[in-house]
């Protein structure tokens, strides 16, 4: 089901990606940093890539906050079934989370936590938080 959606949306994804690249080329990152210095410094750097919010934006990435989530199989068709159990004060970029998730899934196929009520849900982690929290999802931050 997910593969079908991905294939059907490939043209739209490419169009959005091109639009994003054009927009990013127009940004004055130094000015953006100066205008939002307090927020950038408060959030700090990604715990994995060591990029701040502005540096992440320059790489077409964004800063996210870590979550502990569970999901059922029906979540693919109905995202409202996703349950957020905890929000961790660990900030990381999407790319860093995806790289960590890929690594952890190669090491342990159930690192994502399986589905609710399946085995493997406890101790699941796709990334580790600063306090060694098990992060199984992220939420992008839309800051400025």
Torsion of CA 15, 19, 24, 25, to 10 degrees: 110
For residue 98, give its domain range: 2-140
Quote the CA–CA distance of 122 and 42 in Å, as a whole number.
32
Residue 17 has pLDDT above 60, yes or no: yes
Residue 90 pLDDT > 70: yes
Number of structural domains (the chain) is 1
Share of the chain above pLDDT 70, in %: 88
| Chain mean pLDDT for the chain | 84
As given in the structure block, the two tokens for residue 108 are 């342990």
Would you mind telling me the total number of residues written for the chain in this entry? 144
| pLDDT of 40 higher than 70 | yes
Is a pLDDT exceeding 60 seen at residue 115? Answer: no
* Contact (Cβ atoms closer than 8 angstroms) between residue 137 and residue 65: no
Position with higher pLDDT, 10 vs 87? 87
pTM above 0.95, yes or no: no
């Amino acid at each position: 089901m997910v593969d079908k959606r991905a294939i059907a949306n490939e043209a739209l994804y490419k169009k959005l990606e091109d639009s994003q690249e054009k927009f990013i080329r127009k940004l004055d990152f130094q000015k953006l940093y100066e205008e939002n210095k307090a927020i950038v410094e408060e959030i700090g750097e990604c715990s994995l890539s060591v990029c701040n919010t502005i540096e992440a934006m320059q790489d077409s990435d964004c800063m996210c906050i870590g979550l502990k989530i569970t999901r059922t199989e029906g979540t693919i068709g109905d995202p409202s079934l996703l349950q957020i159990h905890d929000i961790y004060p660990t900030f990381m970029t999407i790319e860093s989370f995806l790289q960590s998730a890929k690594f952890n899934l190669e090491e342990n196929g159930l690192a994502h936590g399986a589905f609710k009520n399946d085995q493997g849900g406890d101790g699941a982690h796709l990334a580790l938080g600063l306090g060694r929290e098990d992060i199984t999802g992220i939420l992008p931050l839309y800051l400025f």
